Structure 1
């Protein structure tokens, strides 16, 4: 193969080798954008160098040999250009293996068409040599596939330019300079190729497009050195706002959504494939009146809202910033949503812990008061009476009158001690309970018999309507204390001849127990404070005294056994105290009966 270089081929060869050197130099930089630009420069170098050899050939077979290699650069160049632009503007998410394969489909077909053109003549309908000039030149006539590839070539160059213009329209100055160098570099080969297609060519056949692409490479390389082109690659808008941990929402002057990031969809439980563009703020946040009012009044500031989605409550602090043109014409508003759920939950937990601590302090103070007063007083009375009796200061008649009162004091003191000891035991053992299978009827009757003397003093009748087949799974001592306190409470507020009824009903794996009396009943304000930590005591129908701790202990013991307690009452129409306990399964009943057999 004889090569005789001329002015055109020498310029192309030198420029191509220089471009190849630039491509290798750039490839050493890290980052996908740099690698794609390096590949772009490599393809330009291949086109320039092989076209230089074509222009230096003397025979048609030699020219066709080099044109086959030229098309490796020519065909792959537009596809590589558009992929480089997509990476440069930060839209890598547009690309995947399938999309890249489709972009390179026509270039690969084009290379195949050129290499097999002699079989079908779809790319070049006619090839020959023009010897009418200073050196031989390849003369070609375009085929249908050549025109298809040319349209593809122009479309990708134009699309790359459009993406650059759209992305950098409002970019910072340094990015605009980058944009100018790349846009100018893209425009030059497009214009020169258009001249070639229109027949405006040196020596009638020379294609100046590779010369133009060399200028493109030099212009972008200049941007690389002067504007640090790939050190200051602008991040796409989606990358910036979608990388924000906060939600981002922009409304127009009619309070319609015109932009947002993916976090907003997550906060509102919208799917990633859905869109909220065009939806008004009032449609998105129908119940958030404070937010809507703030935006409608064009007030800048912060608004806290609560959103419940998928059985989860979230809290957000929203920064509202109104936008104005020329400081007077309202054009929209920017809303930044900061998720403060964790902070809010911590604050709520801290508040609850503070309230619990306050309740415990009140309870502690109350217990100390009971120990120092309610327990000391009966013992002092008993001690005084015994001393007076031993010293002969009381007659038998006076002692007989005093004994019932002393007995009542001892009885009340015993009840107080039972409650305090049982509660203290649970506090020392923490949340542990000794749960076992219990026959509810046996347990209720045992406590009723224990309290029967007190009931007889008021002529109160007991009725137990619990089925023998009802079993619960709970701590025996705790449940005994619950029954004792609630029955004793019913006796305390019953009148002569009243009735106290106990019944139980299985409901949804629990047993609901009710202790009902026909006594004085309660006012609504008393009923609402029954199980609060603010203990209080009301005298009974025979002026019986209490400490106010009994119901509080009942609540604690019921909850430790995974149950609930509540009351229902009407003034002068009696009261009903309810509590639930886990129902024992048949398996646990059989197992427990075997253990105790």
Structure 2
């Protein structure tokens, strides 16, 4: 029975299917892979259509015509398929003229050799007709160029299939199906041809064109089921890999199937060898993620997945991956690094807290200022009234009243000066400008400024700091530090006491000591004296008042100048306040480090 006519009809149907795929590829020609795929299918269409008429041709002349028609596509099919595989597996950058032109050398030689075979017989050594079951079929004796064509084609096929297998192993579950359809369709074409060439099945007809029938079914199914021509799966893989969010994919049994580069950085120890392992082994160090993964979809915000203080913060979401029918096929864990936004929020909250503290202190400070300025001014007013009455009424000596007025005026002046210094520091009015300073000269200048207050209490102030003792410090800040420490010493030293200022070098630092014979610091007050941001003021031995800002300013300004401040005290025997300053040799280092914190 002659089946050739039925086989011819089948091949024509396969050609029509191929032309449909060529049309679909043309519609999607904006994608390079659609172009290479369409040309490869078109090359196969020449083969199937020509062979459909070859097997029903009545004589050798007709057969030779249809053979030449077939070889319009046969030599170029493997190269076009290989180019398609390169694009499909994400190697589009390789598809350049310097690669494509060498690849086309053998197909062009094959094409030319086939069309000129009658002159040299290097492609087909002999072409004859044979009768088989009532059909006339051609018998071809292959020449050396035919063998070159076959070997070359299958080298490309082996390399291309290797790339597809490599891609199949790396792909996510939804993509594996698409890659599998591509591999089955390709194997159908070249597998049928290989069976015919090596003679595994003894049939008189060429099986190669019928491989296009099988491949056409798989390709069409893949196009409509998986949108094969719309976007190559490795392109999606590249998008997947380039995401800044960490993405980890599990199957429904919680076995790891895929993850991107960001996940590899976020999850310690995650590597390709763990693909296929259960989540229990993947998330050994991440019990929070493991517990949540077992309970379906969830969402967590601003969590540390390990729980260490220095770990990044993540927003974590887990959702199901569904197929086209909405059926869950896996689980996707998405981790978004929000560490920067959390740190920024913490800084904003800390700033808000500091502003709240400043606002509270402002209210407290203004309340203190209202009383501390009002009281001495009220005394001045009363003293002036008494003085006027006394001057008008008699010739008595007014030395005591004048002395008290002078003391109150001095207290008021010191109070206002401290407030102004503090306000300047808080508002950024002080510019940090360290220079080389003569410490002995600075101390003597400030002792002279304190003379009125010290003499009123008969307190002797002595400086044992020799001239030419140089330090590296800001002039205004150094004056304020010395002035405030002397002021405190005078304030808490009883009449007829003494104050001694000394300095000595320790390494590359100069340590200054201001000692008094005052009442000392109580055990309750000592632990917090230099720690409180806004300490309260205590009354001096002669009733002096302040706003408690002197030591706060000293602490901040000593720190800015690269030094430290501390004290020793014995109750009822006196106190010694120490502060250190860098020598001029440390000027470069101190200047650069202190400027970073100079916005006080």
> Normalised by the size of structure 1, how large is the TM-score?
0.69
* Range moving further from structure 2, 159-168 or 455-464: 159-168
Change (3 A) 1:482 1:239: same
Q: CA deviation at 1:283?
A: 12
Structure 2: distance between partners of 1:231 and 1:468: 84
Structure 1: distance between partners of 2:290 and 2:563: 45
Structure 2: distance between partners of 1:169 and 1:246: 17
Q: Indicate whether 1:139 and 2:138 are aligned.
A: no
Q: CA deviation at 1:380?
A: 1.1
Change (3 A) 1:235 1:136: closer
Q: CA deviation digits over 1:153-190, x for unaligned, max 9? A: 66357557757876789439xx96x6786565335324
Q: Partner of 1:447 in structure 2?
A: 446
Change (3 A) 1:524 1:372: closer
Q: Partner of 1:76 in structure 2?
A: 79
* Range moving further from structure 2, 239-248 or 577-586: 577-586
RMSD (CA atoms):
5.7
Q: CA deviation digits over 1:409-457, x for unaligned, max 9? A: 3322111111223344556664656777654432222012222454564
Q: CA deviation at 1:196?
A: 0.9
Structure 1: distance between partners of 2:50 and 2:467: 102
CA contact (8 A) 1:522 1:569 kept: no
Q: Partner of 1:374 in structure 2?
A: 372
Q: Counterparts of 1:450-461 in structure 2 under 5 Å?
A: 450-452=449-451, 454-455=453-454, 457=457, 459-461=459-461
Any gaps of 5 or more consecutive residues in structure 1? 1-5, 324-331, 588-597
Q: CA deviation at 1:387?
A: 1.4
Q: Indicate whether 1:414 and 2:417 are aligned.
A: no
Structure 1: distance between partners of 2:36 and 2:411: 91
Structure 2: distance between partners of 1:280 and 1:536: 63
CA contact (8 A) 1:256 1:277 kept: no
SS of structure 1 residue aligned to 2:75: helix
* Range moving further from structure 2, 351-360 or 53-62: 53-62
Change (3 A) 1:39 1:284: same
Structure 1: distance between partners of 2:583 and 2:54: 94
Change (3 A) 1:351 1:543: same
Q: CA deviation digits over 1:50-103, x for unaligned, max 9? A: 76898876499989977875553244155245336xx2xxx41x6642999889
Q: Partner of 2:343 in structure 1?
A: 345
Structure 2: distance between partners of 1:276 and 1:464: 75
CA contact (8 A) 2:511 2:581 kept: yes
Q: CA deviation digits over 1:240-267, x for unaligned, max 9? A: 6535443345799xx9998643224555
CA contact (8 A) 1:48 1:210 kept: yes
Q: CA deviation at 1:209?
A: 1.2
Q: Counterparts of 1:138-287 in structure 2 under 5 Å?
A: 138-140=140-142, 145=148, 148-149=151-152, 152=155, 155=158, 159=162, 162=165, 170-171=173-174, 182=182, 185-199=185-199, 204=204, 206-213=205-212, 216-217=215-216, 219-221=218-220, 223-224=222-223, 229-231=228-230, 238-239=237-238, 241-248=240-247, 260-266=259-265
Q: CA deviation at 1:458?
A: 6.0
CA contact (8 A) 2:47 2:69 kept: no
Q: Indicate whether 1:97 and 2:94 are aligned.
A: yes
SS of structure 1 residue aligned to 2:545: coil
Structure 2: distance between partners of 1:18 and 1:239: 32
CA contact (8 A) 2:172 2:257 kept: no
Of 355, 359, 362 in structure 2, the residue corresponding to residue 361 of structure 1 is: 359
Any gaps of 5 or more consecutive residues in structure 2? 321-329, 589-600
SS of structure 2 residue aligned to 1:353: helix
Structure 1: distance between partners of 2:273 and 2:568: 52
Q: CA deviation digits over 1:530-582, x for unaligned, max 9? A: 364433123445664332022233456567x6656543445558343426579
Q: CA deviation at 1:586?
A: 9.8
* Range moving further from structure 2, 97-106 or 182-191: 97-106
Q: CA deviation at 1:477?
A: 4.0
Structure 2: distance between partners of 1:285 and 1:379: 73
Q: CA deviation at 1:34?
A: 2.0
Structure 1: distance between partners of 2:213 and 2:539: 104
> Normalised by the size of structure 2, how large is the TM-score?
0.68
Q: Partner of 2:314 in structure 1?
A: 317
Give the paired residue count: 549
Structure 1: distance between partners of 2:181 and 2:130: 39
Structure 1: distance between partners of 2:278 and 2:62: 72
Structure 2: distance between partners of 1:283 and 1:194: 44
CA contact (8 A) 2:54 2:62 kept: no
Q: CA deviation at 1:517?
A: 2.2
* Range moving further from structure 2, 127-136 or 52-61: 52-61
Q: Partner of 1:553 in structure 2?
A: 553
Of 378, 381, 384 in structure 2, the residue corresponding to residue 383 of structure 1 is: 381
Structure 1: distance between partners of 2:268 and 2:565: 37
Structure 1: distance between partners of 2:499 and 2:92: 82
Structure 2: distance between partners of 1:62 and 1:435: 99
Q: Partner of 1:593 in structure 2?
A: none
Q: Indicate whether 1:35 and 2:38 are aligned.
A: no
Change (3 A) 1:152 1:283: closer
Q: CA deviation digits over 1:353-392, x for unaligned, max 9? A: 2222223223322332243211111121122122123223
Structure 2: distance between partners of 1:201 and 1:13: 24
SS of structure 2 residue aligned to 1:548: coil
Change (3 A) 1:283 1:470: farther
* Range moving further from structure 2, 424-433 or 74-83: 424-433
Structure 2: distance between partners of 1:557 and 1:127: 102
Q: Indicate whether 1:534 and 2:534 are aligned.
A: yes
CA contact (8 A) 1:68 1:115 kept: no
Q: CA deviation digits over 1:11-34, x for unaligned, max 9? A: 878966884675255234122332
Change (3 A) 1:41 1:525: farther
CA contact (8 A) 2:72 2:111 kept: no
